[in-house]
Chain A
Amino acid sequence: MTLTTLLVLAAALIGIGFYGALSQQSFVMLMMGLELMLNGAMLAAVAFWAYSGAGAPEGQLLTIVIMAVMAIEMALGFALVVAVFRAKQADTTEALSELKQ
């Protein structure tokens, strides 16, 4: 467990999440990709805190901010999915070809 292995693991999570966010058709699966990317970002933040930040508390604070971002993304994402489904009966990205009507 070194800084390099932790960062490579975080890079793997971000890469998988990026693949998911780009490739999935269903809105909720797409959001899962975004969450996986944030997961990698949190891991990288904690790794830097532990190995090259000398335990500065701001490193943990950054992770908490990312957690808040994750909660906000989740809540707003689901609200948008509900709104879009109500308006257009759409649950995949392909079903939304236009912005209006």
Chain B
Amino acid sequence: MTPSPATHIAFVVLAALAVLSGWRVFCTDSMVRASFFLLLSFIAVGGIMILLTAEYLGVAMFFMMAVEMMVMALFMVMFMMNPAGLNPMKMVHQERVAIVAGVAVFGVLSAVAVLGDFPDMPLPAEHAPVISLGRELLGDSMLIFETAGVVLLTTMVGVVVLSSRHGRYGRADEGSIPPGLEPGGEPAGQPKESEEEKGEEGGHAHQHHH
């Protein structure tokens, strides 16, 4: 595989885009904009994958990240303060340590990249990456692929369990009382519930335990 000059130019542009937008994620005031910068970084990496002729992976990256970052932006609006970036914001701790650690990780990994001796086995002249990937996924490596599917299903179940307020045997956070919004205030985020319903659920739980 001998890349053309246009490929080189596209690579340089996409690499700069990936790193700059990755860096901007942690400098912008708005958290929603931060998630779009992350999306831009992922799309640049997806473009580099397409340049490397891994078309399926590059396009899958586009689709997956577009949806993922939309979900992330929604969560930003729901949960986080200052989603629109109207005020200057910098929510960091141990920043100096983090910068040193990040630079150290970059230094060590790029030293491995520059000094390491990797086998030089480029792609064969004519190869069909999508076809070979499909044969691999539903052939020799089917077990790995199916395991990933089962793990994703388990994740779905776990996520529902974690995020649901009510379990089968009553409230998921039974017994723990959240702190009030002001010191000494009423517990926050507790919905009003009738005693009758609670009693019923308690009895249900009792029945199943014994």
Contact = CB atoms under 8 A, between A and B. Distances in A.
Interface of A: 1, 3-20, 22-26, 28-29, 31-33, 35-36, 39, 42-43, 46-55, 57-58, 60-61, 63-65, 67-68, 70-72, 74-76, 78-83, 85-89, 91-94, 101
A6 B60 CA distance: 20
Interface stretch (B46-54, B192-200, B201-209): B46-54
Interface of B: 1, 3, 7-8, 11, 15, 18-19, 22-23, 25-26, 31, 34-35, 38, 41-42, 45, 48-49, 51-54, 56-57, 60-61, 64, 68, 71-72, 75-76, 79-81, 91-95, 97-99, 101-103, 105-106, 109-110, 112-114, 118-124, 127, 129, 132-133, 135-137, 141, 144-145, 148, 151-152, 155-156, 158-159, 162-163, 165, 173, 176, 178-179, 181, 188-189
Given A13-B19, A78-B75, A82-B162, A60 B57 contact: yes
13 contacts: A16-B19, A20-B26, A28-B31, A29-B34, A36-B41, A52-B118, A60-B57, A63-B57, A71-B68, A78-B71, A80-B162, A85-B79, A87-B178
A70 B72 CA distance: 13
Contacts of A36: 22, 25, 38, 41
10 closest Cβ pairs, A-B complex: A19-B102, A15-B106, A7-B113, A11-B109, A23-B98, A57-B136, A22-B98, A54-B121, A79-B162, A79-B159
Contacts of A65: 144, 148
B145 A61 contact: yes
Contacts of B109: 7, 10-11, 14-15
B45 A42 contact: yes
Contacts of A3: 113, 118
A45 to B, nearest CB: 9
